Amino acid sequence: MSISNGYFTAVETAPGILRINSEENAAVDLILGSERAALIDTGFGVWNIREFVRTITDLPLLIFNTHCHCDHVGGNYFFDEEIRMGTADLGTRTYAVSRFFRDSMLNGRTLPESFDKEAYYSGGCGNLIPVEEGESFGLGGLTVEALSVPGHSVGSMAYYVPERKIVFVGDSVGRTVLLYGNGSADRPTYVNSLKKILALPFVTAMASHEREPLGRDYIERCLRTAELADYESGTPVSSPIAGSENARLCFLPGMTEADRDDPEFGAIIMDKP
């Protein structure tokens, strides 16, 4: 199954589960039960994600944010429904969705003629409520289970669908994971979160900035990088993000910047050993 409106394209990744991609390169996932649907993240908020979702389903909608950064909550303001976010991120969201960050999301983007920049800047994060580890949400035939995975942000959450053995991990994994600046957790906390994800009996992981499904080996490489990357030999990083003065780009041992095209590449940007 593939559904497109010319900007968003939804592709079925498993029965009842659609990955919604766009030029934003911040994927959104739609889970369709028999009684309710769940949306994981809302993207940048440049185009109306709600209207697109409603061309696919009219089921009552549960909405979950993996974390508070504006490329994941930018579309929250399109929805009237309650939106669940990790409790620890509720306190740091104001900076993460500030005008500075929202403006950075617009650089190089194709904007619709109807785009209202001021509404986008002032849209906020929607009607947020906390979600805690261990909470479970039945959709009818499918279930969404919440898992706390602090690291990329202090309130990062993963969402597991046991019936499909799929876990949605947001920005907790990637070829280069960001672990610095205001609102991030420290490296030991992040390592523990990756171990928690790997303890799940999942077969497939969906990361927000990877278009294709990932296997366990990808998460295992992220864990090796987090455990073994050397901060002292890392390359200083210049970033406008508050609290990033000591940020360094650190590689999986044996890797350098020149190895970015290597499928086994792994790196992490962190601001302390």
Mean pLDDT (whole number) for 57-83:
96
Nearest CA to 20 out of 68, 67, 75, 79 is that of 75
Residues of the chain with pLDDT > 70: what percent? 99
pTM of the predicted protein model: 0.95
Nearest CA to 252 out of 150, 190, 196, 176 is that of 176
Mean pLDDT (whole number) for 137-145:
98
In the chain, where are the structural domains located? 2-270
Nearest CA to 7 out of 51, 39, 38, 70 is that of 51
CATH T-level fold of 2-270? Metallo-beta-lactamase; Chain A (3.60.15)
According to the model, what pLDDT value does residue 106 have?
80
According to the model, what pLDDT value does residue 96 have?
67
Q: In what order do the strands lie in the sheet with 157-161?
A: 136-138, 143-148, 157-161, 166-170, 204-207
According to the model, what pLDDT value does residue 179 have?
96
Distance CA 59, CA 10 (A): 17
According to the model, what pLDDT value does residue 147 have?
98
Identity at 178, one-letter amino acid code: L
Distance CA 142, CA 84 (A): 18
According to the model, what pLDDT value does residue 113 have?
82
Provide the total of helices (H) and of strands (E) in the chain, helices listed first: 8, 17
Mean model confidence pLDDT for the chain = 93
C-alpha of 19 from chain center? 13
Least confident of 20-24, 184-188, 198-202, 212-216: 20-24
- Cβ contact 20:10 at 8 Å: yes
Tell me: pLDDT of 3 over 80. Answer: yes
Which residues on adjacent β-strands are paired with residue 20?
10, 28
Under the banding of pLDDT at 50, 70 and 90, the label for residue 108 is confident
Identity at 76, one-letter amino acid code: N
Residue 232: exposed, middle, or buried by beta-carbon count in 10 A (0-12, 13-18, 19+)?
A: exposed
